Amino acid sequence: MNLSIVDALQSIKSTGICLLTGARSSLVYIFAIISVALFFVNITPASLTDYAVLPEAVDSAAKYRGQPTKKTDYSRFHGELQAGDTLDDTLRQAQINAEDRHRIISALDELLDLRALRPRDRFMAVFDHHDTVVEYRYQAGPLDIYRVQRTTDDVFQAEKMNVALERKTKKISAEVESSLFAAFKTHGEKARLVYSFADIFSSRMDFNAEIRAGDRFQLIFEKYYQGGEFVGYGPIIHARYQQARGEVFEAFRFESSGNPAAYFDADGRELAANFLRSPVPMARVTSGFTRGRKHPILNEVRPHLAVDLAAPAGTPIKATADGRIIFREGNGDNGNLVVLEHSDGYFSYYAHLSSFEEGLKVDDRVLQGDIIGFVGSTGLATGPHVCYRIRRHGEYINPMKLSFKPRSVLKGEVLAHFREQVEDTIRLAKNLDRTDRQVMTSRITVTPDYRPTLL
C-alpha cells in the first residue's frame, strides 16, 4: 500500500471523525495517536529521498551554511587517483580554486603522508549552491578516510574519520585431498589466508614436502567488512593441522604485555623457532639434498647440497632466521644470490633470485620472515625456483632435517593468563559449532587510536 504522508494523515483523520460518534471516543483518540506514531516509525531510510546517502557530508555542509539541508543545496564530485597524480591534481579535477586547494593541502599535511598516495585512492568534494567547496574527503584505504571541513569562520579543519566495520569470526575445517590451496578454496577463502596459516607452522612442518591427502586442518579467524564489502582478514586466532599419519600441530594466538602477538602450543611453547623450515612456505620441492645428483643442464653428476623450491616467478623469498646480509649480487651459476650470516655459526643461501628486495644492502640486519628477494631463474636454472642452502661451521646441512628449539616458553603468571585464553578459545570454537554457518558477527569502530590487525 503506497500512501503519501498527507493521504495517510487524512485517512486517519477521517477514520477518527467517523468513530468519534460512537460511545468509546477516548479509545478512538488513543487509536488515532498510536496509528500516527506507528506510521512514522515505519518510515525507513529506503523510503526517504536519496540526498542523505552521505549524511556526514550533508550535515557538515549544513553547519557551514547555517540552514536546513535540502537536496538541491549541495553537489558532489567523486574521483579516483591515477598513476602520477598528486593531491593538488585531485583538487584541480574538482575545479577547486587555488587558494582553497592550498588551504586543504595544508590542513591534510598534518595527518596524511602526501608522498604515500597510491593510484585508485578515492576522493570526494562537496560544494554548496554557490560552488564553494565545503568539504573534501580522501580515502587512502578502507580504514583510512580523511575529511577536511570548512568551518563557519572560513577555516579548513582536517580529521581522520572513524570507520564502522562488521567483524565476522569464522571457523572452517576440511580434509586435504590435493593441496592446501584447493582445500581453502572450497570455503571461498583467498590465498593470503592460506599463506598465513602455513606461516604459523613454518618451523614445525614443511608444507612443500610433508602435506598428504587425508591430512585435516581447522582454524578460527576474523574477517572485516565495510558496507558489505570485504576489507581484509583479521588475525588467525586458533589453528590446527593433523597429518594423516597421526601427528598433530596446534597453535593459539597470544599477546602478552610488552610482547608482540605470537603463536604457542597448548603448553605455552612458541611455535616459531630460530629457523623457518622453508624460505617459501608454499612451493614445490624439485630437487632435494643429495651427494650425487645429475645436473639437469650440465648433464653430469655432482653434489646438490641444497633444496630447490619451485614457485611462480616473483614469489617473495623470506629470511629463514634473524641475521645480517653478507652477500647480495649476481654470482655466476647461482644467478642473483643473497647470503645471510646468523648466530651460532649458521649461514643461509638463496640463489637464482629474479630480483632483490628494495632498500636492503650488505651489512643490513634482517629479521626472520623479512622479504629479501623474489623467486626467479637467473644463473644456471631450468625454471623459476630458489636454491636454498644452510651451512654451519663450514659444512652444508640438509635444511629440511634441521631441528630447532622454540624461540620462547611462557612461564609463571603469563603462562596462567595464556591458559585462561586457551580455555576461552576452546569455548569459542564450541559456540561456533552451534551456529549454522560457523560464523559470529559483531561490530567495531576504527578510530585514530584503534586499528585492527589485518593480515
- pLDDT tens column, 383-412: 999 999 999 998 999 988 877 778 889 999
- pLDDT tens column, 91-133: 999 999 999 999 999 999 989 888 889 999 999 999 998 889 9
3-state secondary structure of 286: strand
- pLDDT tens column, 236-248: 999 999 999 888 9
Q: Quickly name the fold that domain 165-273+408-446 has.
A: Nuclear Transport Factor 2; Chain: A, (3.10.450)
Q: Above 50 in pLDDT, residue 141?
A: yes
297 or 184: which carries more pLDDT confidence? 184
- pLDDT tens column, 325-374: 999 999 999 999 999 999 889 999 999 999 999 999 999 999 998 999 99
Q: Quickly name the fold that domain 51-161 has.
A: Nuclear Transport Factor 2; Chain: A, (3.10.450)
Q: Quickly name the fold that domain 284-401 has.
A: Glucose Permease (Domain IIA) (2.70.70)
Cell numbers placing 169: 569470526
**CA distance readout (Å), 253 to 53, 170, 256, 272:** 39, 15, 10, 12
- The per-residue pLDDT for 69 is 41
**pLDDT-derived band of residue 297, with 50, 70 and 90 as boundaries?**
low
179 or 104: which carries more pLDDT confidence? 104
- The per-residue pLDDT for 66 is 38
List the beta strands (DSSP E) in 113-199.
Answer: 122-127, 133-141, 144-150, 156-160, 163-175
- The per-residue pLDDT for 304 is 83
Cell numbers placing 145: 578516510
- The per-residue pLDDT for 161 is 93
**pLDDT-derived band of residue 48, with 50, 70 and 90 as boundaries?**
very low
Q: What is the sign of the dihedral through the CA atoms of 41, 43, 49 and 50?
A: positive
* Residue 271 contacts residue 203 (beta carbons within 8 Å): yes
H helices, E strands: number in the chain: 8, 24
3-state secondary structure of 302: strand
Residue in the structure block whose three cell numbers are 616467478:
313
Residue in the structure block whose three cell numbers are 620441492:
285
- The per-residue pLDDT for 301 is 62
- The per-residue pLDDT for 292 is 59
CA distance 255 to 261: 4
Residue in the structure block whose three cell numbers are 602520477:
84
Q: Above 80 in pLDDT, residue 196?
A: yes
Q: Give the residue from 247, 238, 183, 277 showing the smallest Cα distance to 433.
A: 238
Residue 134, φ and ψ in degrees, nearest 5: -115, -15
CA distance 235 to 249: 18
**What do you get for the CA distance between the two ends of the chain, in Å?**
49
Percent residues over pLDDT 70 in the chain: 81
Average pLDDT of the chain is: 82
- The per-residue pLDDT for 22 is 46
CA distance 109 to 261: 32
- pLDDT tens column, 256-265: 877 789 999 9
Q: Above 90 in pLDDT, residue 169?
A: yes
- The per-residue pLDDT for 283 is 79
- The per-residue pLDDT for 134 is 93
Largest Cα–Cα distance of the chain, in whole Å?
111
Cell numbers placing 191: 590465498
- The per-residue pLDDT for 38 is 41
Q: Taking CA 167 as the corner, what is the angle to CA 161 and CA 168, rounded to the nearest 5 degrees?
A: 165
Residue in the structure block whose three cell numbers are 643473497:
338
CA dihedral 179, 184, 186, 191 (to 10 degrees): -100
400 or 172: which carries more pLDDT confidence? 172
- The per-residue pLDDT for 180 is 86
* Element of type H or E holding 429: helix 412-434
Cell numbers placing 453: 590487525
**pLDDT-derived band of residue 217, with 50, 70 and 90 as boundaries?**
very high
* Element of type H or E holding 441: strand 439-446
253 or 5: which carries more pLDDT confidence? 253
* Residue 69 contacts residue 49 (beta carbons within 8 Å): no
85 or 297: which carries more pLDDT confidence? 85
- pLDDT tens column, 67-77: 444 444 789 99
Q: Above 70 in pLDDT, residue 415?
A: yes
Q: Above 90 in pLDDT, residue 33?
A: no
CA distance 307 to 208: 11
- The per-residue pLDDT for 42 is 39
- The per-residue pLDDT for 405 is 77
Pairing of strands 284-287, 307-310: antiparallel
